[in-house]
Amino acid sequence: MRKTISRIFGKLVSIKYPKIMQNYINKTYVKHFNIPLDEFKDYKEYDSLLALFTRRLIKPREFESGFISPCDGTILSYAKSSNLKAFSIKGKDYDIKELLGFTPKNELDFLNIYLSPRDYHNYHSPCNMQVLNLKYFYAELFSVNLKALSKHDNLYSRNERVVLTCKKDSGDIFYMVFVGAVNVGKMEFDFDTSVQTNMKNASDYEKNYDNVSLKKGEMLGRFLMGSTILILGDDLKLECQVGAIKFGQRIAND
């Protein structure tokens, strides 16, 4: 049912209403979620709510040194896993083996970034990197907001998601996990536009890439609303704090 609701929601927000009505919808949404638009076009410039959701920056961000946040959002937690368990928020964990679809050799550093409905929904490369592999997991679309996370274990591993295996210039491997949620069933990736999420009768699949390289800060893709990005690796050298984060701010050393 949640997947069907998400598909319907996606169609509704894609509708381009008459200009006066669309302006009212956009203005109401911006006001309700207190969305700052100083780096974006005016709300009147978006011809659908989806266009507003997926708005792009018109003012370039400056990137701090090191490994940067791929998105705007809120860091909910970060630490080193134990028995290949990570935690979404304090007291609630998720299974890394189930999340990634394989068993890592070592414990992993992890970082969870939640994107709320008010956040900028595009995501970018956190460093110069290659994308080596993509795994798609067709699964549920539970909410992953704080209220839901506080009630349930393992939500990230139970939800539809895309896992990217990435390699830094140094050769170090890390993983980026893009987690779907109710009303956030759609995720897009600019380096491979054939990737489709929350489709009827879908199934898990995996793809390898030989020549996908991205520069630090380069556009990677977008959620068609907000959700969660998880970053995991053997030795991420994390330098961050729980709380608000902006795309371009450092979250780890190179």
Cα of 8 vs its chain's centroid, Å: 21
Tokens coding 82: 């134990």
Provide the pLDDT for residue 183: 66
Mean pLDDT, the chain, rounded, equals: 90
Q: What's the start-to-end Cα distance of the chain, in Å?
A: 42
Annotated catalytic residues are 72, 124, 227
Element (H, E) at 96: helix 96-100
The percentage of residues in the chain with a pLDDT greater than 90, rounded to a whole number, is 69
Region 67-252: CATH code: 2.70.70
Say if CB 71 and CB 251 are below 8 A apart. no
pLDDT digits (tens, 9 = 90+) for 222-237: 998 778 999 999 989 8
Among candidates 3, 119, 125, 5, which has minimal Cα distance to 52? Answer: 119
Instruction: Supply the Cα-derived Rg of the chain in whole angstroms.
Output: 18
Distance CA(128)–CA(67), nearest Å, equals 9
202 pLDDT exceeds 90?
Answer: no
Question: Secondary structure of 143-196 in the HEC alphabet?
Answer: CCCHHHHHHCCCHHHHECEEEEEEEECCCCEEEEEEECECCECCEEECCCCCCC
Distance CA(137)–CA(221), nearest Å, equals 17
Residue 247 — pLDDT band, cuts 50, 70, 90? very high
Among candidates 173, 28, 168, 148, which has minimal Cα distance to 94? Answer: 148
DSSP state of 232: E
Q: What is the largest CA-CA distance in the chain?
A: 57
Question: Secondary structure of 116-143 in the HEC alphabet?
Answer: CCCCCCEEECCCCEEEEEEEEECCECCC
30 pLDDT exceeds 70?
Answer: yes
97 pLDDT exceeds 70?
Answer: yes
pTM: 0.93
Domain-wise residue ranges, the chain: 2-53, 67-252
Query: Which burial class, exposed, middle or buried, applies to 74 when counting CB atoms under 10 A from its CB (0-12, 13-18, 19+)?
Result: middle
9 pLDDT exceeds 70?
Answer: no
